[in-house]
Structure 1
Amino acid sequence: MDTTSIDNNGAVKPLVKQRVVVIAPGRGCYNKEELGYLARFHQNKQEFIAKIDEYRATQGQIGIAALDAEAKYSFKLHTPGENASALIYACAMADFMDLDTEQFEIVAVTGNSMGWYIALALAGALAPQAASIVINTMGSMMSEGVIGGQLIYPEMDEHWRQDATKTALLERVITEVNCHAGCELFTSIFLGGYRILAGNEAGLKLAEEHLPPLDDRYPMRLYNHGAFHSPLLNGISEKGRAQLPLNLFQMPKIPLVDGRGQIWTQYSTDTAKLREYTLGEQVVKPYDFSKAIAVAMKEFAPDRVIVLGPGNTLGGPVAQSLIAINGFGWQTKANFSAAQDNNPRLIAMGNELQRPMALAK
């Protein structure tokens, strides 16, 4: 059966669109390699970028265009939340604008951690100006001092399957650390084959002593990250509620899957509850990105999954989350790698080889 047609301009168009779930990245995806991302891929988005920078100017903050145009990547300049959040949002949203909607039907969106705020914008639950306000406000909450921190540790084996021994180790370490006076440690994010832990400095140091070194990398601290998705951010949640009114939020136009796996639809969303989750539970309780991916796959049955840029650090955790549920028939890292070589079902727009697959021809 022919699955294409020719439009009035002679272009080949698909008769049946591919269903896709779109995933927004979180903090830590704009690194040295991504410097200049907006300039390389989004020269035609000057109006969109200018609107973000107009708002940032009212807050006395450097513009994202200037950040992206810096001659050298700087941890001090590019990783603080007040800069990283807006920069990553701009890159991801600009990528989303470039998706080929003639080829793809976007059936749902989700995101990892800070990517939840971006997902709200992708789905239309935050209009562009509201998105700038929410993302900039929440990203700037620790500009006067980061509260706690995060570290990452693998929870999988060499086949990218969950390793029960590592899971038990992580749970035991969390319990042991919290038994020590002055130490606080929590699960922050379930991130595919990784667990991100959040805690105060004493808790993180003790966790590093208890977790066996792996691959000369782990346990690894996440630079300039606060204790996101933990009770240590109760004060941040309260400030967010005080500064971000209900009228910033609206009904989504595309279904959203949150960090609990709950679906918010364009038909039944209570915007007051959406705001309460976004500024409440989402800030102070664990974010289960793996479950968000599982629910999106099972409920929306996409043909492909598209991860927005910048960067490609989220590609592995998405694949690991899919392997855990036999998504696309993948059961191991080897299955995933072989399938991607032939016909990528997971498209990362931060990967310059895969990026053209998501764009209009």
Structure 2
Amino acid sequence: MAIEVKNEYMSKERVLVVAPGRGCYNKDELGYLQTYHQDKVALIKSIDAYREALGQESIQQLDAANQYSFKRHTAGENASALIYACAMADFMDIDTEKYDIVAVTGNSMGWYIALACAGVLDSDAAIDVINTMGSMMQTGLIGGQLIYPEMDQAWRRDNRLTAIIDDAITLVASESDCEIYTSIFLGGYRVLAGNEAGLKRLEEILPNIDERYPMRLYNHGAFHSPMLAHIAENGLNDLPNTLFTSPSVPLIDGEGGIWTPHSTDTDKLRNYTLGSQVTQSYHFTKALQVAVKEFAPDKIIVLGPGNTLGGPVAQSLIDIDWFGWGNKADFLQTQETSPKLLAMGNIEQRSKVLK
């Protein structure tokens, strides 16, 4: 008589989890914690106890505000902790009976959240790292960022736009008093960082697209650029190696590097996180592409708040024809019939992820 052997993993779908960065908690996300995470009492209390000791406003107060304030909610010392709380609470809600989390990555500040999701940072270490790094420009922003598309209307890479961006960077960087760098490769977009002189020159040089781009990113500093060298130095001085442990699941960083549970050197992981990750370009596109090629997930779960990262995730995968997506229409059709991308900031898609 044949004996049926049941493997619990055979019935699970393999998923890549993606953590969001700055700019995902906006007016529509106000009240996200109250709406979805009133049960995450321990997480929220631990974050607010840490912030209270520093004289900072609680995330509960920020989330429960009567109205959204750009100045208040996008300030680094507030946005970082608030987004971490929302994303980490979402991660805790993933149905692990249904989904096998095979890898984790994130965009920009989402790298710190990914470290927490993967177990590199415990709850105390996570808020220490995230709040510390998010508060380092509290007394004044260093530089700024703008975003510009390098894709066509079908979300396919447009080499003409890429050349325009690269030529503009070369030209502006050669001018006196101007600093400009690629900050993030973000799917079909390029995020550029620089000083005010450099950003103004870029705004003059880059062709206007849809009366929207180039678009300044409010309250964003020159993240992922050499302009933040002293921020990296301060982080390395303030945040000890003892905060970091080996991941429980593989991590893909902003260079496309893979950190695995059994081969991670935590000194190197800390040095990357607080060093080159702060001062060099963050290649989110490459992180996504490496993750799907190496770990072959059935689906991708993007943590909330918001759904600003859904487009860049899809665009990164269209670029390599993953899931059979050759363009935006392919992606939207798949999402209608058998979604591969589940954004927890989207109410309908969220329901497919929850326990």
Please point out which of 211, 216, 226 is paired with 1:231.
226
Pairing 1:319–2:314 present = yes
The aligned residue for residue 307 of structure 1 is 302
Task: Give, in whole Å, the separation in 2 of the partners of 1:146 and 1:337.
Answer: 38
The aligned residue for residue 285 of structure 1 is 280
The aligned residue for residue 274 of structure 1 is 269
Pairing 1:71–2:66 present = yes
SS in 2 for 1:152: strand
Task: Give, in whole Å, the separation in 2 of the partners of 1:252 and 1:354.
Answer: 27
- Counting only pairs closer than 5 Å after superposition, residues 166-181 of structure 1 correspond to structure 2 as 166-181=161-176
Task: Give, in whole Å, the separation in 2 of the partners of 1:298 and 1:277.
Answer: 23
The aligned residue for residue 143 of structure 1 is 138
Residue 14 of structure 1 deviates from its aligned partner by 8.5
Are the counterparts in 1 of residues 86 and 304 from structure 2 also a CA contact under 8 Å?
A: yes
SS in 2 for 1:233: helix
The aligned residue for residue 204 of structure 2 is 209
Task: Give, in whole Å, the separation in 2 of the partners of 1:81 and 1:93.
Answer: 18
Q: Give 1:283's aligned amino acid.
A: V
The aligned residue for residue 248 of structure 1 is 243
The aligned residue for residue 108 of structure 1 is 103
Task: Give, in whole Å, the separation in 2 of the partners of 1:224 and 1:318.
Answer: 23
**Identity of matched residues, %:** 65
Question: CA offsets per residue over residues 140-186 of structure 1, 9 Å max, x none?
Answer: 00000000000000000111011000000000000000111000000
The aligned residue for residue 59 of structure 1 is 54
Task: Give, in whole Å, the separation in 1 of the partners of 2:122 and 2:42.
Answer: 15
Are the counterparts in 2 of residues 22 and 307 from structure 1 also a CA contact under 8 Å?
A: yes
Which 5+ residue runs of structure 1 have no aligned equivalent? Answer: 1-12
Q: 1:28 to 1:250 in 2, by over 3 A?
A: same
Q: Give 2:330's aligned amino acid.
A: N
The aligned residue for residue 252 of structure 2 is 257
Task: Give, in whole Å, the separation in 2 of the partners of 1:15 and 1:212.
Answer: 51
The aligned residue for residue 329 of structure 1 is 324
Matched residue pairs, number? 350
Question: CA offsets per residue over residues 256-310 of structure 1, 9 Å max, x none?
Answer: 0000000000000000000000000000000000000000000000000000000
Task: Give, in whole Å, the separation in 1 of the partners of 2:349 and 2:328.
Answer: 18
Are the counterparts in 1 of residues 9 and 100 from structure 2 also a CA contact under 8 Å?
A: no
The aligned residue for residue 13 of structure 2 is 18
The aligned residue for residue 186 of structure 2 is 191
Question: CA offsets per residue over residues 69-111 of structure 1, 9 Å max, x none?
Answer: 0000001110000000000000000000000000000000000
Task: Give, in whole Å, the separation in 1 of the partners of 2:272 and 2:42.
Answer: 31
Are the counterparts in 2 of residues 155 and 195 from structure 1 also a CA contact under 8 Å?
A: yes
Task: Give, in whole Å, the separation in 2 of the partners of 1:148 and 1:14.
Answer: 47
SS in 1 for 2:190: strand
Are the counterparts in 2 of residues 81 and 142 from structure 1 also a CA contact under 8 Å?
A: yes
The aligned residue for residue 128 of structure 1 is 123
Residue 327 of structure 1 deviates from its aligned partner by 1.1
Task: Give, in whole Å, the separation in 1 of the partners of 2:207 and 2:41.
Answer: 48
Residue 215 of structure 1 deviates from its aligned partner by 1.0
Task: Give, in whole Å, the separation in 2 of the partners of 1:178 and 1:290.
Answer: 24
Following TM superposition, the consecutive aligned residue runs of length 4 or more in structure 1 with deviations greater than 6 angstroms are: none
Computed over aligned residues only, the root mean square deviation of the Cα atoms, in angstroms, reads: 1.2
Task: Give, in whole Å, the separation in 2 of the partners of 1:351 and 1:343.
Answer: 16
Please point out which of 300, 323, 335 is paired with 1:340.
335
The aligned residue for residue 5 of structure 1 is none
SS in 1 for 2:11: coil
Are the counterparts in 2 of residues 14 and 102 from structure 1 also a CA contact under 8 Å?
A: no
Q: Give 1:144's aligned amino acid.
A: T
Task: Give, in whole Å, the separation in 1 of the partners of 2:293 and 2:71.
Answer: 41
The aligned residue for residue 3 of structure 2 is none
Are the counterparts in 2 of residues 107 and 254 from structure 1 also a CA contact under 8 Å?
A: yes
Residue 349 of structure 1 deviates from its aligned partner by 0.3
Are the counterparts in 2 of residues 192 and 317 from structure 1 also a CA contact under 8 Å?
A: yes
The aligned residue for residue 8 of structure 1 is none
Report the TM-score, using the length of structure 1 for normalisation.
0.96
Question: CA offsets per residue over residues 14-58 of structure 1, 9 Å max, x none?
Answer: 851000000000000000000000000001001110000000011
Task: Give, in whole Å, the separation in 2 of the partners of 1:189 and 1:221.
Answer: 14
The aligned residue for residue 354 of structure 2 is 359
Task: Give, in whole Å, the separation in 1 of the partners of 2:170 and 2:287.
Answer: 26
